[in-house]
Structure 1
Amino acid sequence: MHLPIDYETLRLIWWLFLGVLLIGFAIMDGFDLGVGMLLPVVARSDLERRVMLNAIGPVWDGNQVWLILGGGAVFAAFPTIYATAFSGFYLAMFLTLLALILRPVGFDFRNKLQDRRWRAVWDTGLFIAGFVPALVFGVAFGNLLQGVPFSFDADLRVTYDGGLLGLLNPFGLLAGLLSVAMLAMHGAAYLVVKTEGEIQARARRALRLAAPAAIALFVVAGLWVAWGLDGYVIASAVDGAGPSNPLAKEVARVPGAWLDNYGRHPWMLAAPLLGLGGAALAWLLAAGRRELPVFLATAASVLGIVATAGVSLFPFLMPSSLEPKASLTVWDASSSQFTLFVMLIATVIFLPIVLLYTGFVFRVLRGKVTAGYVEKNSSSLY
């Protein structure tokens, strides 16, 4: 069947879509995770904690749709990535899932009893539900940049030679801490927009600590990638429209190779510059009275930091440290051309609906959550 878009272009489009969905998750659900992490830092009383929780309460579950969309896109567009990642990161993903389960349970059960210890337990659960996913997602990206220990046999059956503790290596932990600082900064910016008084003031102070931490960790990670990590390069001809066979190529590990894309495509430098510039701008704006620009600046920083990892890796999606030629790329880990085309049509139809609905929800729920409002509606709020 002749399709109007060639296979190579469809693969590139789906790489871009995957990036959009991951960035969408980091921005939209990222501030929810950040607020959860800041719960024991910004709030000083039960009422203040309730204000923070009600700032994200109406939107957190809708924001998590971006995670589901991203997972679905990987499953349908790059099934080999999905299968290999679940083999390699299974325990890490299971740990993340357990942490994420604490979030709806914490929201639903926290306010059932007035007992201080009861609420403290669920507050701790909500903190874990913010911190653990943020750390694990960063650790995962850090391990992708180093290469993951997997290989394929002649029948393309995957074998993974590693474990959860192996993921917690120095560079992986550095990337995890970067993710934590980045999302704490973003969550603090959201609280600046949605709260007032002492909570807002403490959120500003938290942002002015988290933003420099994110900048410093991002710079250290960049220097480590440049001078301390081997990158991957395809050392043979690649047919962008060929069948998905990851073993039909040769791959070499070269020091500093993750920076090659910036030399070939200088426009890609916009990603790290946006990551640094957004965080720096948020730090400057946090000292003033501006609110929404602070949040937009941290969102731009999140976009830039996540995009930096993506454009540095391209065309690799999941490099293999055990057998470099088995590394999965945009060109050899995708579904069929027909599948990608049908999914493209579905995405073009439904993604704008998701965006419009998200915009509608945030418009309806605009405004600040105040202590007076929470006290007045105590029985119906979190």
Structure 2
Amino acid sequence: MSLDYETLRLIWWALLGVLLIGFAVMDGFDLGVGLLLPVVARTDAERRVAINTVGPVWEGNQVWLILGAGAIFAAWPPLYAVAFSGFYLAMFLVLCALILRPVGFKFRSKVADRRWRTAWDGALFVGGLVPALIFGVAVGNAFLGAPFRFDADLRLTYEGGLLDLLNPFALLCGLVSVAMLAMHGASYLALKADGPVAARAAGLIGKAALATLVLFSLAGLALAFGVDGHAVVQGPGGNAPSNPLMKRVVTESGGWLRNYGEQPWIAAAPLLAYLGAALAGPLAERDRPGLAFVASGTAVAGIVATAGLSLFPFLLPSSLDPNAGLTVFDASSSRTTLLIMLGATVLFLPLVLAYTAWVYRVLRGRVTAAWVEAQGKAVY
């Protein structure tokens, strides 16, 4: 059966959501471990335990980020053009922070000097904190709308800078991201580390989960009462050619909550976020680190899904010209491109998932200080 253009666009919107959730869940605990490193590990041996819990997997986990960026480039070219050019300095900061991670992992253990290792520990902390914060800030600015417009020939104009992105609501969303990844990283350390590192991480899960719930609730209240939402009131339909200027958009207070009234089932996403965060701490206290990790992962997935479902059908609204906002139905590649990409995804994504599952099965078990000491310089 042949898929029509509208269906393909919806499938790719869902796939983009899966990739972003995969990045948040899989690479999220890597970032969380980095930003928690100064808190959960107090000696060099403890820091090596924490670092080596993610040592074998952090590179593979970043594949989800590459897949997400690649999907945006191929499936939603205008979104890629606006986001990666308008948010250029923010993306550059994220890239610099992400570059600190591999050099921190690789160089830290090369010299047995306290100052050397402390410096690279700081690099790993920055490499965990900055991306977590900036990604959340980016989501916050998506709700506010980016300052861009198109002329009649669809030439892009972006009017804004890095400091404009650091507004109160976007920073609140950034704190949501930091809190949820701290919760997820602590859950992972409680599962994979041993001794004092695992104990301290387990004690942090409930606190980070509470912070996540409070900040997530505040962001929801801000969306309901303090941020104007965008709504398409007239457009050519889901099978029309991609042209952001062929629709009419209005803004309204609390408009980002409209989808929940029209499609009540999507309330499952924030409910999963609340349920996962609420269960993570108690499960850790009951010495069920595996279930606590599943709960924190569920909360992360629920929070990311909540953002995507609330924005739908928008991918990136415009604060300068609401009619120019990019939606699922007017910012995609051609039907042929989406169809070919879907075939490749159906073939290769199961292989990625199967390989990932196999790697984590092989690497199951805790990382202990005795094991790290025995490996010497063979591990981080």
Structure 1: gaps (5+ residues)? none
Q: Tell me the CA shift for residue 74 of structure 1.
A: 0.3
Q: Structure 2: which amino acid aligns with 1:308?
A: T
> Match for residue 178 of structure 1?
176
Specify which of 23, 26, 37 is matched with residue 24 of structure 2.
26
Q: Structure 2: which amino acid aligns with 1:202?
A: R
Q: Tell me the CA shift for residue 237 of structure 1.
A: 3.2
Trace 1:296-315 onto structure 2 (pairs within 5 A): 296-315=294-313
Q: Tell me the CA shift for residue 242 of structure 1.
A: 0.4
Q: SS where residue 373 of structure 2 aligns?
A: helix
Q: Equivalents in 2 of 1:133, 1:316: separation in Å?
A: 23
Specify which of 145, 148, 163 is matched with residue 147 of structure 1.
145
> Match for residue 326 of structure 1?
324
TM (normalized to structure 2)? 0.99
CA RMSD of aligned residues (A): 0.7
1:79-120 deviation line (CA, Å, top 9, x unaligned): 110001012110000100000000110111001101100001
Structure 2: gaps (5+ residues)? none
> Match for residue 232 of structure 2?
234
> Match for residue 249 of structure 2?
251
Trace 1:277-356 onto structure 2 (pairs within 5 A): 277-356=275-354
Which stretches of structure 1, 4 residues or longer, exceed 6 Å deviation after superposition? none
Q: Equivalents in 2 of 1:245, 1:379: separation in Å?
A: 56
CA contact (8 A) 2:110 2:377 kept: no
> Match for residue 56 of structure 1?
54
Q: Structure 2: which amino acid aligns with 1:369?
A: V
Q: SS where residue 377 of structure 1 aligns?
A: helix
Q: SS where residue 252 of structure 2 aligns?
A: strand
Q: SS where residue 252 of structure 1 aligns?
A: strand
Q: Equivalents in 2 of 1:195, 1:86: separation in Å?
A: 37
Specify which of 80, 83, 89 is matched with residue 81 of structure 2.
83
Give the percent of matched residue pairs that are identical in Structure 1 and Structure 2: 64
Q: Equivalents in 2 of 1:378, 1:71: separation in Å?
A: 37
1:151-186 deviation line (CA, Å, top 9, x unaligned): 011111111110100000000000000000000000
> Match for residue 217 of structure 1?
215
Q: Equivalents in 1 of 2:42, 2:120: separation in Å?
A: 16
> Match for residue 159 of structure 2?
161
Q: Tell me the CA shift for residue 274 of structure 1.
A: 0.6
Q: Equivalents in 1 of 2:159, 2:275: separation in Å?
A: 39
1:35 aligns with 2:33: yes
Q: Tell me the CA shift for residue 291 of structure 1.
A: 1.3
Q: Tell me the CA shift for residue 238 of structure 1.
A: 3.4
1:11 aligns with 2:17: no
> Match for residue 112 of structure 1?
110
TM (normalized to structure 1)? 0.99
> Match for residue 94 of structure 2?
96
Q: SS where residue 97 of structure 1 aligns?
A: helix
> Match for residue 125 of structure 1?
123
Q: Tell me the CA shift for residue 212 of structure 1.
A: 0.2
Specify which of 274, 277, 301 is matched with residue 276 of structure 1.
274
> Match for residue 44 of structure 2?
46
Q: SS where residue 235 of structure 1 aligns?
A: strand
Q: What number of residue pairs does the alignment pair up?
A: 380
Q: Tell me the CA shift for residue 207 of structure 1.
A: 1.1
Q: Equivalents in 2 of 1:306, 1:238: separation in Å?
A: 29
> Match for residue 185 of structure 2?
187
Q: SS where residue 155 of structure 1 aligns?
A: coil
> Match for residue 371 of structure 1?
369
> Match for residue 206 of structure 2?
208
1:27-63 deviation line (CA, Å, top 9, x unaligned): 0000000000000000010000000010000000000
CA contact (8 A) 2:235 2:246 kept: no
Q: SS where residue 243 of structure 2 aligns?
A: coil
Q: SS where residue 157 of structure 2 aligns?
A: strand
1:307-354 deviation line (CA, Å, top 9, x unaligned): 000000000000000000000000000000000000000000000000
Q: Equivalents in 2 of 1:278, 1:76: separation in Å?
A: 33
1:276-322 deviation line (CA, Å, top 9, x unaligned): 11000002112111111000000000000000000000000000000
Q: Tell me the CA shift for residue 376 of structure 1.
A: 0.7
1:205-243 deviation line (CA, Å, top 9, x unaligned): 111211000000000000000011100001213310001
